[in-house]
Amino acid sequence: MNRIAPAGRLLAVAAVASLALTACGGSGGDTAAQKSESAAPASSAPASAAKGDGTLTIGDVLPQTGSLAFLGPPEFAGIDQAVKEINDTGGVLGKPVNKIHTDSGDTTTNIASQSVDKLIAQKADAIIGAASSSVSESIIDKVTGAGLVQFSPANTSDKFTTINDHGLYFRTAPPDRLQGRVLGDLIAADGNDTIGILAMQDSYGSGLADQVTKTAEAAGAQVVERVDYDPKAADFSADVAKIKAKNPKAIVLIGFEESAKVVQELVKQSLTADKYKWYMVDGNMSNTNYLKMPKGTLKGVKGTIPGAAAPTEFQKKLLAIDPKLTNYTYAAESYDAANLIALAAQEAKTDDPAQIAKHLVTVSKGGEKCADFKSCDELLKAGKDVDYDGISGPIEFNDAGDPAIATIGVYQYGADNKYDATKALEYRKGNIEG
Q: Is the pLDDT of residue 226 over 50?
A: yes
For 344-364, the pLDDT digits (tens) are: 999 999 999 999 999 999 999
| Portion of the chain with pLDDT greater than 70, in percent | 87
Domain that holds residue 110: 24-174+310-403
d(CA 294, CA 247): 24
Phi, psi of 309 (to 5 degrees): -65, 145
Identify whether residues 224 and 167 lie together within a single domain: no
Q: Which amino acid is at 51?
A: K
Q: Is residue 6 part of a domain?
A: no
Per-residue confidence (pLDDT) for residue 32, from 0 to 100: 33
Identify whether residues 197 and 247 lie together within a single domain: yes
Per-residue confidence (pLDDT) for residue 405, from 0 to 100: 80
Q: Is residue 9 part of a domain?
A: no
Q: Is residue 140 part of a domain?
A: yes
Residues 24 and 433: beta-carbon distance below 8 Å = no
For 382-419, the pLDDT digits (tens) are: 999 999 999 988 888 988 899 888 889 999 999 999 99
Beta-bridged to residue 424, according to DSSP, are 22
Identify whether residues 315 and 210 lie together within a single domain: no
Q: Is residue 279 part of a domain?
A: yes
Q: Is residue 18 part of a domain?
A: no
Identify whether residues 132 and 65 lie together within a single domain: yes
Phi, psi of 211 (to 5 degrees): -70, -40
| Beta strands, E only, 316-404 | 368-370, 386-390, 393-394
* Angle subtended at Cα 79 by Cα 76 and Cα 85, rounded to the nearest 5 degrees: 140
Q: Is the pLDDT of residue 422 over 90?
A: no
CATH number, position 379: 3.40.50.2300
Q: Kindly give the residue spans of alpha helices, DSSP state H, lying in 122-233.
A: 133-145, 176-189, 203-218
| 130 upstream amide cis, omega within 30 of 0 | yes
Q: How many domains does the chain have?
A: 2
Q: What is the mean pLDDT of the chain?
A: 88
Q: Is residue 4 part of a domain?
A: no
Q: Is residue 87 part of a domain?
A: yes
Identify whether residues 341 and 376 lie together within a single domain: yes
Instruction: Provide the angle, in degrees to the nearest 10, between the axes of the packed helices 373-381 and 331-348.
Output: 10
Identify whether residues 30 and 161 lie together within a single domain: yes
For 1-23, the pLDDT digits (tens) are: 344 333 332 223 333 333 232 22
Nearest to 51 by CA among 434, 394, 350: 350
For 238-249, the pLDDT digits (tens) are: 999 999 999 999
Residues 70 and 138: beta-carbon distance below 8 Å = no
Per-residue confidence (pLDDT) for residue 49, from 0 to 100: 58
Identify whether residues 265 and 317 lie together within a single domain: no
Q: Is the pLDDT of residue 229 over 60?
A: yes
For 286-311, the pLDDT digits (tens) are: 998 999 999 999 999 999 998 877 88
For 48-76, the pLDDT digits (tens) are: 556 789 999 999 999 999 989 999 999 99
Nearest to 257 by CA among 298, 228, 295, 286: 286
First to last CA, the chain: 15
Number of H helices, E strands in the chain: 11, 18
Identify whether residues 185 and 138 lie together within a single domain: no
Identify whether residues 365 and 425 lie together within a single domain: no
Identify whether residues 32 and 150 lie together within a single domain: yes
Compare 4 and 327 and report the one with higher pLDDT: 327
Q: Is residue 334 part of a domain?
A: yes
Q: DSSP readout, 90-111?
A: T-BTTBPPEEEEEE---TTSSH
Per-residue confidence (pLDDT) for residue 20, from 0 to 100: 30
For 76-102, the pLDDT digits (tens) are: 999 999 999 999 999 999 999 999 999
Identify whether residues 200 and 102 lie together within a single domain: no
Average pLDDT over residues 118-145: 97
Per-residue confidence (pLDDT) for residue 326, from 0 to 100: 85
Identify whether residues 323 and 210 lie together within a single domain: no
For 250-291, the pLDDT digits (tens) are: 999 999 999 999 999 999 999 999 999 999 999 999 998 999
d(CA 279, CA 221): 15
